[in-house]
Amino acid sequence: MSSDAIAIRTAADTDRPWVSVLHEWVTTVDHKRLGVLYILYALFFLVVGGVEATLIRIQLMWPHNDFISPQVFNRLFTMHGTTMIFFVAMPILFGFANYLVPLMVGARDMAFPRLNAFSFWLTAFGGMLLYFSLLGGNGLYGAGNAPDVGWWAYAPLASRAFSPGNSSDYWTIALLASGFGSIATAINIIATIISMRCPGMTLGRMPLFAWMNLVMSGMVLLAISPLSAAQIMLLVDRYLGGHFFDTQAGGSATLWMHFFWIFGHPEVYVLIIPCFAFVSEIIPVFSRKPIFGYPVMVGATVCIAFVSMSVWAHHMFTIGMNSYANSFFTITTMAVGVPTGIKIFNWLGTMWGGKLLFRTPMLFCIGFLFQFLIAGLTGIMLSSSPFNWQLSGSYFVVAHFHYVIVGGILFALFGAFYYWYPKITGRMLNESLGKLHFWLFLIGFHLTFDLMHIPGLLGMPRRIYTYEPGRGWDTLNFLVTIGTFVQAMAILVFVANLITSYFRGAKAGNDPWDAWTLEWTVSSPPPAYNFASVPTVLSRRPLWDLKHPEDPDSRYE
Amino acid sequence: MSTIATPLPETSAAWKLPYRAKVGMASLIIAESAIFTIFVVAYLFYLGKSLSGPTPREVLETPIFYTICLLSSSLTIHFAGKFLERGRRGAFLLLWLLTIVLGGLFLFGTGQEWHRLIYEHGLTISTNLFGTTYYSLVGLHGFHVTVGLIMLTIVLLFGLAGRVGPEQSARVDVLSLYWHFVDAVWVVVFTVVYVLGR
């Protein structure tokens, strides 16, 4: 069957000179290697962005603290946001999609392998450009180095007059480069899923992982492109003397906000939908049940994608739109909650009556379910425009979106790491370290982000450099920072686990979780060609059919 | 799971999926449409908001001839593809060349218009909002025409070298899909800039 490995690799493989190994990795067009490169690259930036967050939190630990200067503080929160969204979340999710989509749909590679390599290096180049600003951003004496305009670079702050030197340009070009990389990857994923499926893999039999990545890629096409367009306009303004966002010449600062958030809000779903994909694969396997409501899951995903394209201005309630716009964006934002709620019910429905196995991937998914629900509820609170007028730009908002990004996206990602690490490396991650990682991170997360809502409600603005004592924020901020340290420790445990398990972990075998999708039919790590013979599938759970020929799913679907 | 037998050998002979390059190009077109939409929105949003002249009504002239050139190149490339499919290479090359000439004429027209605007009316990208949005939108389209022309020329060179035959027909169709898109964008840009915008 498809797992009969053809012995191409020999002993000579292991003792080649490192230059030749490096050359092979740099020039690779193999979707699995590119996936690993994406993931490693993103993990590096996760640590960088995490250090930035820690520095921000140390500064906010006490009132009147001056651990870092205000200028550095502005750069830190700009770099933290930009890094985490564009150079951690996007590449890490693309990495998993790259690695898993061809395996799950029974293909030997992506549709366009060289385009795939191009996308990765474009994204990598973007990240390097962003951090090169630390050296090269000083276009003028005293102009500062790293960008300090916030991750959304509102006009006119990003114009030449208020952002001299080259720092904002590095930000712009880094996002433009990585944006083109993302669009190319999205094109690649779509073409792979539509045109490279193995015989029998109809759209209705495709794993939900592939479905959700298909939807995510469609959203990337529609969401990242406006950002690229807006970045081109910003460059025209800064370099050719254009007036797009130049209020002195009749330009509009609001237009930039619209363009940015037309990208910015769908982007949240671009990030969360692949996480739904992880959860939709992991929960059934550890509940020993097929996913509950497969067609409804697909429908809800498409529905979320559709509705999320028309909610962007809920980031802009405070700019003074008319009441029709306010009502429209309030209603659409609340409406996203409906398909999302359907999904949560489906995951619970999958677990209901299942034989639950509380292994680390499952723990992270359960954490995801709770936290994503709470994040969604604060989202519904913020969607109500009068409430939003009160709390927009406060730490309540910061707490809300970190609940989505850390409590939702990052938890699901950790689950994905524990679940697919055996496939990628051939070794299991250590289970005790995994549980330690989970509990430490859970405690740290809740300490930080539960408490962070309260200073927001008490009026603490986001991006504030320091604050007066005695406003009721002191203790809370101190505890929030302590939580950050706990999370940092958890990340250290995780990194240690990744490294030690690579060398000492238990051998995984082809199918350590007794799972049902095609990637578990091949060896771990899979051979370069993935499948020795292209598989044929007859149901949504091809491996179940293989393992239970007496009672295959294909009989019921 | 190598111990388990191969699943039922019910391999469907009729398993046929869309051509991946076509899907890829369609996706690219969706992304590009989103980019153009943003520029068109900016153009429309800033219509009449310039604080100083010149205004579109004063300086723009409708480029009817060059528009006809570009739009008819969609026809020529379509029939070029049809001829290639039937194996008539000579007719293919002729029509392909004609497409390039028509596209080139369009670019020349844009160049001429820009030259007139810059040297006779003093309108540059930094003059006012009209200049900024006009040059960006038309320039973005012109950039796409240029990229298209480069790719068309590469195919022409391969064709002259005798390397393009009916077996490449599907690939050539992908390129003509892009060219049709560039033409369709011009219909929008033309409507917005020269019809609605004046």
Q: Mean pLDDT by 10-residue block, N- to C-terminus, for chain B (198 residues)?
A: 46 81 97 97 95 92 96 97 95 97 97 96 95 97 98 96 93 96 97 93
Split at pLDDT 50, 70, 90, the class of A446 is very high
Split at pLDDT 50, 70, 90, the class of A271 is very high
Q: Does B67 touch chain A (CB under 8 A)?
A: no
Look up residue A19 and give its two tokens.
Answer: 């230059």
How confident is the model over A88-105, as pLDDT tens digits? 999 999 999 999 999 999
Q: Can you give the pLDDT at residue B5?
A: 44
Q: Can you give the pLDDT at residue A408?
A: 96
Look up residue A112 and give its two tokens.
Answer: 């366009």
Split at pLDDT 50, 70, 90, the class of A47 is very high
Q: Residue A527 pLDDT > 60, yes or no?
A: yes
- How would CATH label the architecture of A11-555? Up-down Bundle (1.20)
Length of chain B: 198
Q: Can you give the pLDDT at residue B11?
A: 54
CA dihedral A265, A267, A271, A276 (to 10 degrees): 60
Q: Does A123 touch chain B (CB under 8 A)?
A: no
Taking a C-beta distance cutoff of 8 angstroms, is the pair A513, A535 a contact? no
Interface contact flag, B15 A200, Cβ < 8 Å = yes
Q: Can you give the pLDDT at residue A140?
A: 63
Maximum C-alpha span of chain B = 80
What percent of chain A has pLDDT above 90? 90
Q: Summarize the confidence of residues A448-476 as an average pLDDT.
A: 95
Q: Can you give the pLDDT at residue A3?
A: 44
Q: Summarize the confidence of residues A41-57 as an average pLDDT.
A: 96
Look up residue A175 and give its two tokens.
Answer: 């996002």
Split at pLDDT 50, 70, 90, the class of A467 is very high
Q: Summarize the confidence of residues A290-317 as an average pLDDT.
A: 95
Instruction: State the Cα–Cα distance between residues A223 and A187, nearest whole angstrom.
Output: 13
Q: Summarize the confidence of residues A138-156 as an average pLDDT.
A: 81
Q: Does B55 touch chain A (CB under 8 A)?
A: no
What is the b/e burial string over A435-447, where b = at least 16 CB atoms within 10 angstroms of the residue's CB?
A: ebbbebbbebbbb
Q: Residue A165 pLDDT > 90, yes or no?
A: no
Split at pLDDT 50, 70, 90, the class of A145 is confident
Closest CA to A200 of B3, B23, B20, B17: B17
| DSSP three-state, residue A160 | coil
Average model confidence (pLDDT) across chain A:
93
Instruction: State the Cα–Cα distance between residues B126 and A450, nearest whole angstrom.
Output: 49
Contacts of B154 (CB under 8 A, 6+ apart): none
Q: Can you give the pLDDT at residue A14?
A: 63
Q: Chain B residue with minimal CA distance to A193?
A: B20
Split at pLDDT 50, 70, 90, the class of A390 is very high
Domains of chain B with bracketed CATH: 20-196 (1.20.120.80)
Nearest CA-CA distance, residue B126 and chain A, Å: 5
ipTM: 0.93
Q: Summarize the confidence of residues A133-149 as an average pLDDT.
A: 77
CB < 8 Å from B in window 166-185 of A: 183
Q: What is the pTM of this model?
A: 0.94
Interface contact flag, B129 A195, Cβ < 8 Å = no
Interface contact flag, B1 A520, Cβ < 8 Å = yes
